[in-house]
Structure 1
Amino acid sequence: MAKFDVVVVGAGIVGLAVAREILNRRPGASVAVIDKESHVAAHQTGHNSGVIHGGIYYEPGSLKARLCVEGAALMYEYAQEHGVPHERCGKLIVAINESELPRLDELERRGRSNNVPGLRRVGAGEIRDIEPHAAGISALHAPNTGIIDYAEVARAIERELTTQGVTFHFNTTVKGISDGASCRITTDKGPIDADKVIVCAGLWSDRLARRSGADASPRVVPFRGVYLRLSKSPTPIVRGMVYPVPDPTLPFLGVHVTTHISGHVMLGPTAMLVPSRDSYRFRTMRPRDMWETATWPGTWKVARTFWRTGVDEVRLAVSKRAYVRAAAQYVPSLTVADLDGTFHSGVRAQAVDRDGTLLDDFAISQSGAVAHVRNAPSPAATSAFSLARELVDRIEG
């Protein structure tokens, strides 16, 4: 039977960063990474917008606020050191009318409290100087916000870990984790023992936590986001990113216009409840996922509270014209003819409490020598290295 100092469950960017952090602190430690897929970055890490977030949106004092700003700096440092393509292209958050100004004021307050580098308020004229095709009455400019391919970062970390002797157990499903004199991870390929276990299972985090005896709340409810791609042109419609002022009651940022590290420009994402945790295409349905979503009391409370938002999301999902119109509010020259007909999708692991609360901050639970990441949506990829430090501090403390 295999025995390790530390086992990490989940080979997304957070899990890989955790394994790396352990070895940075304890060179020569025996570490294993387990994942049910055949490769790293199979889910949220490989299906996101690729934005290195600045830390503007998050409540000061929250884990997100602290770890995002620190994590962005660490991500740029890692990308530079390991030759991962990236760019500090900057972001505008644009208010299109006076009703949005109080929310923009609040974002500015948060950004300054969170020490977001270079953040400044700009007027209508400077909006056009920064992004000639954008329009609004006021905006926040975050020049340190950038773009990267997080799947490529994950592959770079995997190469590092392999050279340091980390054992990867791919195509291996964890059935449960028990905490006694040592931790036992039960898998479909036999047991694995460890002194400590850190679970970074993303879309399946709640399921593994329950199997390990943790509380049933929060439950992961999957939301699918779709990005539509614009045709490439010699002069892209945006130089960096242009975002709307978000609805403060939701953990989603609205349809935005984002340059990708590949050079393409994307519109999106939507945020629609879907019938499986890997519903990258809407027709993918998993009866178990559907049952767990439908029988969770929080799901129905969310539906009652945000049904109007749900209707709007369905409208965006079925109508490209409506989708483009949403982005054209702050990039007016956008038209349906600009789309190239392809799309990119991801599924967000949104944690929902029993009472219907949509968890916004990172959530970590710990029992003895086992730690579970219960909620790590955006900006988890940006924060991967700083979140890894936080997790290892807790499990090693």
Structure 2
Amino acid sequence: MKATAAIVRNVGGRFSVEEIEVAEPRGSEVRVKIAGVGMCHTDLVARDGFPVPLPIVLGHEGSGVIEAVGPDVSGLSVGDHVVLSFNSCAACPTCEEDLPAYCHNFLAQNFAGVRLDDGSSPLSQDGSVIHGSFFGQSSFGSYAIANQRNTVKVDKDLPIEILGPLGCGIQTGAGAAILSLGLKAGQSLAIFGGGAVGLSALLGARAVDAGTVIVVEPNAARGALALELGATHVIDPGATENVLDTIKELSGGGVNHALDTTGIPDVVAVAVETTIAHGTVGLIAVPPPEAMLPANMMSMLVRGTIIKYITEGDADPQTFIPQMIAWYRAGKFPFDRLVKIFPFDQINEAAKASEDGSAIKPVLTF
């Protein structure tokens, strides 16, 4: 069937909104009419050179309504409202341990741009291949082909057009705080970076009744929003002489956990030193390729510091997306405060807003 999609044809090029053809779903695939799709940093990284085949339709925070299902689909039906997340193989050791974010085939499942069974793409244009299957969905389009593995059914009374970011960016931040770090009620947390992932970690911390939560963020508007969302303190690193000393003073000697969402080695170096004995430091952002971990080993030894790199918040979308929605319904997880809506044909404007910080989580709607 015909669909409108945003195609990346050249590394670093603009998203080009064009008409494409979308194949019928087969096997365990579903075809979803996209209502909304979030713009994530990973989309921009792929646009700007992370190795994916071109031309390609990106997008991996889609949500919408199932319009067709393949013959092997179970548990999903036409008319279901769904959120799309990352893909995984369901068969490797980590998938069998309910850790799909660490699927042994994660890169191929999410970045190959084709179906792995035969190398085909569900997308085309005038007989020419347009690569799809990005994160098992390629949802920068009016229709997407996903797999039942990365499709999560949600209630129909929810605002379906804004739910897509629960499948990646918001899941990553909230999951990092709750699942990866194991943040418990009353414990303290320092979050470095107040973008979509950092503020989602804040939302997760508040959902589980964490204690002191400090957000380090130079953008004044984001800092103000962090306070509104429940941050105990916000530190502007540009206006603070010593961020480490300030965090220790505000937290009574240090925090239980720290989370870096910047990928900046100098920031990570501070984060590692903020935790008390047996504290955990979570790292999320993609660092520069040549970056090394800037940590004092003796300091870590004395404190028994745990450092963990995190993918997708260690979440299983099939269970964690419903959990976030339950918190949202209970008024404990207002992720909608992070969203700024753009019409789909303004995808390049949404990308720019994501890059310059004027939007925390752009969501494109049809």
> Relative contact order (C-alpha < 8 Å, sep 6+): which is higher?
1
Q: TM-score, normalized by length of structure 2?
A: 0.27
